[in-house]
Structure 1
Amino acid sequence: MAFDEGLYELLKDDLADVHGLAEKKMFGGIAFMLNGNMLCGVHKDGAMYRVGKDNEPAALAVPGAAPMAFTGRRMGGFIDAGPETMADDAARGDLLRLALEFVAALPPK
């Protein structure tokens, strides 16, 4: 599986206090699921966060955050964060907060 192990550990540490998480192999990486809904994950070039369409403007204001376009098509409500963004504790925290706000409001699967 092609994903950055260091970013995986960093994201896993960020999520240490979040209950209801599971890991799932997806998109050639690892996704973290909250109550069965995708929350965030790591891939070979960085990480992604599911912030929802309403939170996209705030997420895109985070330095280094970009729209997710995994297969060449933009994935609404998903944000891509490269290694530089992931190295910034405040940026990671902002993106995770937005993702948790969105995903925690979804019905469990």
Structure 2
Amino acid sequence: MTYDRELADRVRAALSTEHGVSEKAMFGGLAFLLDGAMAVAVAGQDGLMVRSDPARADELTAADGVTRMVMRGRELDGWLLVRPDVLDDEDALHRWVATGRDVARSLPPRRAGSTRSSGR
């Protein structure tokens, strides 16, 4: 796996007070799940994938360094990519992790062994 281990450590610290956190290798990076729902993922060297409310996509992508997540040439509803330079600021990292956390927490609990990896 070729993800930014320092960023993963910072995300881990940002989620340290949350219950039900697990980590899983996904998408060539490291995903952070809350009770089975993916909230964020350190996405290779590209920054942070953040789960988001699709209705807020235009608002959230208005910020510098934030785009809709694209996989296999297709935009993924409910997922954003935040560039690493945006995450240099600790407050910004915590805001983006909180965005993913809040959406993941709003979803119904998952059955054991089941993992959500895309949109709502």
Asked if Structure 1 and Structure 2 have the same fold, meaning a TM-score greater than 0.5 normalized by the shorter chain, the answer is yes
C-alpha RMSD over aligned residues: 1.5
Deviations 1:33-77 (A, max 9, x none): 111111001121211110120232342233311111132211111
TM-score (norm 1): 0.89
Structure 2 residue aligned with 1:23:
23
Q: Distance in 1 between matches of 2:71 and 2:88?
A: 21
Alignment of structure 1 residues 62-81 onto 2, 5 Å: 62-81=63-82
Where in structure 1 are there 5+ consecutive unaligned residues? Answer: none
**Correspondence list, 1:1-109, <5 A:** 1-44=1-44, 45-109=46-110
* Paired amino acid for 1:26: M
Cα deviation 1:6-53 (Å, max 9, x = unaligned): 111111111111111110111011100111111001121211110120
TM-score, normalization: structure 2?
0.81
State which structure, 1 or 2, has the greater radius of gyration over its C-alpha atoms: 2
Q: Tell me the SS of whatever aligns to 1:80.
A: strand
CA distance in 1, matches of 2:91, 2:101: 15
Q: Counterpart of 2:55 in 1: which secondary structure? A: coil
Q: Distance in 2 between matches of 1:65 and 1:19?
A: 27
- The aligned amino acid for 1:61 is A
AA aligned opposite 1:24:
K
Contact 1:51 1:95 in 2 (8 A): no
Provide the identity percentage. Answer: 31
Q: Which structure 1 residue ranges, 4+ long, deviate > 6 Å from structure 2?
A: none
**Secondary structure of the residue that 1:56 maps to in structure 2?**
helix
